[in-house]
Chains A and B, each alone.
Chain A
Amino acid sequence: GENVEQHPSTLSVQEGDSAVIKCTYSDSASNYFPWYKQELGKGPQLIIDIRSNVGEKKDQRIAVTLNKTAKHFSLHITETQPEDSAVYFCAASGGSYIPTFGRGTSLIVHP
C-alpha cells in the first residue's frame, strides 16, 4: 500500500517568514495530493490540493509543488501569520481514492 512520509514534525518560524513542509510517497500510481490544516479541537480542513497533471498550484499565500519523478510534494506558506499556527497534513491517493496521510507537521508562528 501507499506510504507517506512527512517532514519536519515540528516547524517554528517568526511571523512574516516562509514555511515549507515536505512529503514523499511510495506508490507511483498516486495522482491526487491534498493538504489539510487542523486547528486545535477541530477536524482537518482542506487548504489546497494538486493533481499529477500539474507541477505547481498557488492560492494566495500558499502553494504546493509536485515532483512525480522523485515522488515528493511540498507545501509553501509565505508571509506566515500567527493564525497559520496549526497541524498540517499531507496525503496521497491513487486508484483506491482513499488518501493515505502523513504524520503531520506542527507549525508554530511566533508573533
Chain B
Amino acid sequence: DSGVTQTPKHLITATGQRVTLRCSPRSGDLSVYWYQQSLDQGLQFLIQYYNGEERAKGNILERFSAQQFPDLHSELNLSSLELGDSALYFCASSVGSGQETQYFGPGTRLLVL
C-alpha cells in the first residue's frame, strides 16, 4: 500500500459526459501528479500540482482540468468524454517538486461507452 488513495476504482459513463476523479496524497506529500495509462500510449504524464499551485503540464487535453485543494487532495475533471478517453488514470504523490520518489495510487479505470 503506497498511502495514496484514489476514488472511484471503476467508472463507466457515456460519451459527452463529465466525470471527476479524486486523489488523496500520502501524508506529508505536497506534490500530486496525474497520469493516463492506455494500451497504445503507455503511461503519459498529464499535470502536476505542488502545494495548491499548478507546477507542470504534460499531454493534457483542454477538455481535462485539475486542481489541488488546501487539504492537498486533488481532483481531475474530464469533460465531453470520448471513447478514446477510456483508460486507467493514476495519481502519484511526492514530498516536494523535484526528482523525488513518486508514490502511485491504485488508479481509476474509466470506461466510456
Chain A contact residues, CB within 8 Å of chain B = 31-32, 34, 36, 41-46, 49, 51, 89, 93, 96-104
Contacts and interface: CB of A to CB of B under 8 A. Distances in A.
Interface string B37-75: 000001111001000000010100000000000000000
Given A96-B56, A97-B56, A44 B43 contact: yes
Contacts of B98: 97
Given A43-B2, A43-B90, A99 B102 contact: yes
Contact of B58 (A36, A41, A98): A98
A103 B39 CA distance: 9
Contacts of A32: 99
Contacts of B106: 41-43
B45 A99 contact: yes
A47 to B, nearest CB: 11
A89 B99 contact: no
Nearest to A44: B104
B97 interface: yes
B101 A44 contact: no
Interface residues of B, number: 22
Nearest to B106: A43
- Identify which of B2, B102, B103, B107 gathers the most chain A CB atoms within 10 Å of its CB: B102
B25 interface: no
Given A32-B99, A43-B2, A89 B104 contact: no
A37 to B, nearest CB: 11
Contact of A89 (B4, B43, B56): B43
Contact of A49 (B48, B92, B101): B101
A46 B56 contact: no
B2 A101 contact: no
A86 to B, nearest CB: 13
